[in-house]
């Protein structure tokens, strides 16, 4: 019955894509938030995951629309594409030098990376050109987020996850079900994974969505918008990931640091009040004292002594340094180019957990082992150029001290820290989509507010039809 429901979802979204690709795109992203990647549907000659099938359908509709010359136009914006060309092009060249993996295996791994993580953001950049479509995307993802975060809180309260349990039973019976709900950590009764397959993925998803809605009123009522942010924060906390929680806090700290005096004063006042309230509750209410260890280990993340309690599982600073040394030991024979793309997946499938690097839970270890120092440099350049493009867009439109851009940079910094602390964790696709949608929102709005542009009545009419600045 559930398999039929997912097939029906595929058919409905496909019809919507044919009707209006922007609306269908938002539904595709919503499906990726709602449906784990292990869910598969049969397309007659082949069986694919639901998410891959929807992405394939999205590509087909995009090509069809371009052939039919639909209203939007593809205008390559070289500054935007530069970090992607460098990252993917660099990985393509490195595929010929991996010491332990064949070229064909590495090419297959690179194609899969592009298809699952990068392709959706390129499509989104092309098709979203009006303010109405961007608002619609925010609304659909906002409603989806509200339901999945509410479900995440219910999972923690009940210490169960019937949805994922059913998904695993149907599509992957060998998977260990919802064992994370039984994994107590520093006061937490269990770790929530929501609609994802792992708590770390769930923590990263909620981290990204928190910054996405941080400075946007997606719902009419203020209390609902505040509740949405509260639910996102709770789910980051309930995921049991100190890395996600710390990245969230540091991202917010960046926003506070670079916002104007009025906003900064408001943040500091509210932040201090919330912090003081949390401290009082944790240390004065006996029922909440069990969360003290988790709070202290997050606040003093550099201090290994704060993690000495057996209930606090996860990596310490000294453990991460040991893993970094282990990464360099693994690539001793090919430090520049690494062991080859796809090595980590092949190793995990063959040998399971690595004795030193465990699950390679940092983009530093992942990049170093698979693509060496050059690959790590490519990732660093990619994120740096994404940061620089935000500043470039501001300068191009003569927009300075804008809260939207500050939040966008804060979210980017938060995500980079998350990947350094605990790895990508199947969240790169979501980061890229939310990144370009925030850019689109800022650029579409600011385009027509900037003194660089004088709008005629005709231009004002066209504003509702397409985005002139792409």
pLDDT category of residue 151 using cuts at 50, 70 and 90:
very high
Q: Is the pLDDT of residue 453 over 60?
A: no
What does each C-alpha distance from 313 to 8, 293, 425, 452 come to in angstroms?
Answer: 41, 11, 18, 54
**What are the structure tokens assigned to 336, written together?**
């520049």
Domain regions of the chain by residue span? 1-70
The residue behind tokens 């918008």 is 225
DSSP for residue 50: H
DSSP for residue 431: H
List 354's β-bridge partners, or say none. 358
The residue behind tokens 């992607």 is 84
Which tens digits make up the pLDDT trace of 86-123? 999 999 999 998 777 888 989 999 999 999 999 999 99
Spatial separation of the C-alpha atoms in residues 67 and 353, rounded to whole Å: 48
**What are the structure tokens assigned to 464, written together?**
């509702």
Strands 47-49 and 40-42 come out as antiparallel
Which tens digits make up the pLDDT trace of 36-66? 988 988 877 778 899 999 999 999 999 888 8
**What are the structure tokens assigned to 22, written together?**
């922007």
Spatial separation of the C-alpha atoms in residues 468 and 444, rounded to whole Å: 8
Q: What is the three-class DSSP state of 409?
A: helix
| Confidence (pTM) | 0.87
Contact 380, 225 (CB under 8 A): no
**Which of 225-229, 261-265, 418-422 shows the lowest per-residue confidence on average (mean pLDDT)?**
261-265
Spatial separation of the C-alpha atoms in residues 185 and 314, rounded to whole Å: 9
pLDDT at 256: 87
pLDDT at 97: 85
What does each C-alpha distance from 454 to 95, 298, 448 come to in angstroms?
Answer: 49, 50, 8
Spatial separation of the C-alpha atoms in residues 303 and 143, rounded to whole Å: 39
Spatial separation of the C-alpha atoms in residues 270 and 151, rounded to whole Å: 27
pLDDT above 90 as % of the chain: 40
Instruction: Cite the beta strand spans of 337-387 per DSSP E.
Output: none
Q: What is the DSSP string of 275-326?
A: HHHHHHHHHH-GGGGGGHHHHHHHHTTT-GGGG-STT--S--HHHHHHHHHH
pLDDT at 154: 92
Which tens digits make up the pLDDT trace of 157-166? 888 899 998 8
Instruction: Cite the beta strand spans of 84-164 per DSSP E.
Output: none
Q: Is the pLDDT of residue 470 over 90?
A: no
């Amino acid at each position: 019955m559930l398999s039929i429901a997912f097939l029906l979802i595929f058919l409905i979204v496909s019809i919507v894509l044919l009707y209006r690709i922007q609306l269908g795109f938002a539904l595709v992203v919503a499906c990726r938030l709602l449906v784990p990647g292990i869910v598969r549907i049969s397309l007659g000659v082949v069986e694919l995951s639901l998410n891959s099938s929807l992405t394939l359908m999205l590509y087909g509709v995009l090509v069809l629309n371009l052939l039919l010359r639909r209203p939007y136009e593809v205008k390559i914006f070289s500054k935007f594409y530069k970090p992607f060309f460098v990252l993917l092009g660099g990985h393509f060249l490195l595929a010929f030098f991996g010491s332990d993996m064949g070229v064909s295996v590495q090419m297959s791994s690179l194609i899969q990376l592009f298809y699952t993580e990068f392709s959706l953001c390129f499509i989104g950049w092309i098709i979203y050109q009006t303010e109405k479509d961007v608002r619609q995307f925010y609304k659909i993802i906002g409603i989806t987020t509200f339901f999945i975060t509410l479900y995440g809180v219910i999972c923690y309260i009940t210490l169960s996850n019937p949805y994922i349990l059913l998904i695993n039973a149907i599509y992957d019976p060998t998977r260990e079900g919802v064992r994370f709900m039984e994994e107590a950590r520093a006061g937490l009764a269990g770790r929530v994974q929501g609609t994802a397959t792992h708590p770390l993925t769930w923590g990263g998803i909620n981290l990204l969505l928190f910054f996405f809605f941080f400075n946007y009123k997606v719902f009419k009522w203020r209390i609902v918008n505040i509740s949405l942010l509260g639910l996102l924060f709770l789910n980051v906390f309930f995921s049991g990931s100190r890395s996600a929680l710390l990245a969230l806090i540091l991202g917010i700290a960046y926003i506070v640091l670079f916002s104007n005096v009025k906003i900064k004063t408001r943040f500091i006042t509210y932040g201090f009040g919330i912090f003081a309230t949390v401290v009082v509750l944790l240390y004065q209410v006996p029922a909440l004292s069990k969360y003290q260890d988790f709070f202290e280990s997050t606040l003093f993340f550099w201090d290994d002594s704060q993690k000495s309690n057996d209930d606090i599982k996860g990596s310490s600073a000294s453990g991460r340094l040991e893993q970094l040394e282990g990464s360099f030991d693994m690539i001793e024979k090919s430090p520049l180019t690494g062991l080859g793309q796809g090595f980590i997946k092949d190793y995990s499938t063959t040998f399971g957990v690595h004795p030193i690097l465990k699950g390679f839970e940092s983009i530093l270890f992942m990049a170093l082992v698979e693509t060496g120092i050059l690959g790590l440099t490519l990732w660093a350049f990619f994120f740096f150029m994404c940061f620089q493009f935000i500043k470039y867009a501001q300068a191009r439109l003569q927009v300075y001290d804008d809260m939207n851009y500050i939040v966008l940079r804060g979210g980017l910094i938060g995500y980079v820290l998350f990947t350094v602390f605990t790895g990508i964790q199947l969240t790169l696709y979501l980061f890229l989509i939310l990144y370009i949608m925030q850019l689109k929102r800022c650029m579409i709005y600011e385009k027509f507010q900037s003194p660089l542009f004088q709008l005629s009545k005709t231009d004002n009419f066209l504003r509702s039809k397409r985005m002139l600045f792409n």
